[in-house]
Structure 1
Amino acid sequence: MAVCVTCNNPLILEIEPDDDSDTEMGEPSSGKAPIPEPTIVPDDVHLNCGCHFHWQCLLEAYQVTECPNCSQNISTTSSSGGPQVLCNLNNEGGMQENLDILPLLTEESYLKAYPEDRKARAFLEFCREGDVRAVIAMLQDEDEDEDEDEEEIKEGEGEKTERRKMGPDELLRYQDPIGDMQSGLHAAVQAGSREVAWLLLLLASNLDLLQFPAEVFQEAEALGVMRDVVEDKVDIRSLRDSDGRSAEDLAKEIGGVWRGWEGTGRLSI
């Protein structure tokens, strides 16, 4: 049976049950509830060079084009002409063959170098999912519950420096450096989420409030958010991706739910 080439352990992962997970009714004679057993799932990244890794072991040793174990080139060219890293991935979700993991590896490598961007990238993902409540929760979160390793970095032995924390204004105007410099507004447009787009326009643009439907204000009030002073801040509508496109340019390409927004100034200035 293959083992991880980094740690030489079996290609499995033990998932501990949640503290509040349900247990079987009744208690043993000792009077204590039974301790749930951890769930065993596969954890096997089989690269095209033949080497097997645990996912976390691969992330910790990852090099862009070479296998960190045998140094063989693992990057190939996709049908679109771009680079890819194909593997067979077997995890709790099942077996996935010829899966391109380059986007995931690129993101994790970036976050290893710039861990302070982890929250911003999660914010963009919620914008892409159209999850308004999650977007608002992140804007209201003060990082009080983050792990110590996310708040501090070690610079030399015994020395720690507090990580830079990204505030709501910076989060709202963040542009993804490994995702074509898209903003949250670009992400919302691409996902077809008018609800998230209206929220971002309310909080990070100086769009005339008369352009907003009444239900936008009602929903914002119910969720505890409202526009702050925006005149001296970057208007999210002015942000352009790496191809020079505004959110409105992207909306024109997509059409669909964005028909009727063109030329209104809602997505571009």
Structure 2
Amino acid sequence: MPVCVACNNPLEVEIEHDEEEENDTGASSSGKGPAATSETVPDDVQLNCGCHFHWDCLLEAYEITECPNCGKNIASTSTTGAQQVLCNLNNEGGLQERLDILPLLSEESYLKAYPEDRKSRAFLEFCREGDYAAIVDMLLDDDVEEDDEDEEMGDSDQPGHEEVGADRMLRYQDPIGDMQSGLHAAVHAQSREVAWLLLLLASNLNLKEFPALVFQEAASKGIMRGLTEDKVDIRSLRDANGKTAEDIAKEVGGVWHGWEGTGRLSI
């Protein structure tokens, strides 16, 4: 049986489950409440060079187009002409053959260099998924963290402190994803709810343009627009192809029909 070439251990990992997840009554067989159980599952990334890694061991190596063990080129070209790194991945979810892991390797490599962007990238991913509730939770958590930091540091003069917070997260542009903003992502996700939220919090769009329901929902979640005049309007952000969110809306159509040219997605 192959072993991980990085740590020389079997290609498996032990994961823990709460017995409560498997028992609808919430009680273990002993009657003493939920207990933790463990399960051994595969954890095998087989690169096209033939080398096997644990997933975490491969990420720790932070090589993208070369195998960190044998040095062979593991990149190939897809039918669309894009670069890809194909592997056979066997894990808890089963075997996936010829899976392209280049996007994941690229992101992990970027986050190793810029770990401070991890939260902003998670925020952007929620925008791509149209997950309104998760976005609100992140913003509220960020407000709490900022308040705690302010109490600890007072009027902080520490370098970089001003770069941390909701404003930076709201206006984050993905450097390894065509410089898309959250508003670009919301348009692609066809999530008008997320777009309204981003426009409320990160644009100078006249408040009279917002439906009453947007204010009601924001108020119920405990969020509202602060001062935006001195900040970058999210509608002005352009992706790597020079396109604003409105440009994307014109292309994808869908729920954005009628938004083009209204000033909602552009300034």
TM-score, normalized by length of structure 1? 0.87
Give percent identity, aligned residues only.
70
Structure 2 distance, partners of 1:190, 1:34, is 42
State how far apart, in whole Å, the 2-side matches of 1:24 and 1:58 are.
37
CA contact (8 A) 1:124 1:184 kept: yes
1:142 is displaced (CA, Å) by 3.5
Structure 2 vs 1, CA of residues 186 and 46 (structure 1 numbering), >3 Å: closer, same or farther?
Answer: same
User: What per-residue deviation string (whole Å, max 9, x for no partner) do you get for residues 110-157 of structure 1?
Assistant: 111111100000000111111112111111214978xxxxxxxxxxxx
How far the C-alpha of 1:76 sits from its partner, in A, is: 0.6
Residue type matched to 1:125 in 2? E
Contact 1:23–1:36 under 8 Å retained in 2: no
More helix by share: 2
The change in CA–CA distance for 1:34 and 1:240 in structure 2 (over 3 A counts) is closer
Where in structure 2 are the equivalents of 1:126-141 lying within 5 Å? 126-141=126-141
Deviations along 1:219-243, one digit per CA (max 9) or x if unpaired, are 1111111111111111000000000
Following the alignment from structure 2 to structure 1, what is the Cα–Cα distance between the partners of residues 144 and 245?
33
Deviation at 1:19, TM superposition (A): 9.4
Q: Deviations over 1:79-137 (max 9, x none)?
A: 11111100000111111100000000000111111111000000001111111121111
Cα contact 2:20–2:28 (8 A) shared by 1: no
Matched, 1:120 2:117: no
Aligned-partner residue type, residue 211 of structure 1: E
* Cα distance, 1:64 vs structure 2: 2.1
**Conserved 8 A contact 2:186-2:194:** yes
- Equivalent residue for 2:28? 24
- Kept in 2, the 8 Å contact 1:182–1:241? The answer is yes
Residue 18 of structure 1 and its aligned partner are, at CA, apart by 4.6
Distance, in Å, in 2 between the alignment partners of 1:243 and 1:41 is: 43
Matches within 5 A, 1:79-90: 79-90=79-90
Aligned with residue 171 of structure 1, among 152, 159, 169: 169
Does the CA-based 8 Å contact 1:48-1:87 persist in structure 2?
yes
> C-alpha deviations, 1:199-252, integer Å up to 9, x for none?
000001010111111111111111111111111111000000000000000000
Q: How does 1:173-252 map to 2 (within 5 A)?
A: 173-252=171-250
Distance in 2 separating the partners of 1:23 and 1:118: 37
Does structure 1 retain, via aligned residues, the 8 Å contact 2:18–2:34?
no
**Structure 2: gaps of 5 or more residues:** 146-157
Post-superposition Cα deviations, 1:40-63, rounded to whole Å, max 9, x if no partner, equal: 111000000000000000000131
Partner of 1:149: none
Q: How many residues align?
A: 250
Q: Distance in 2 between matches of 1:119 and 1:100?
A: 24
When residues 143 and 113 of structure 1 are mapped into structure 2, their CA distance, relative to the original with a 3 A threshold, is farther
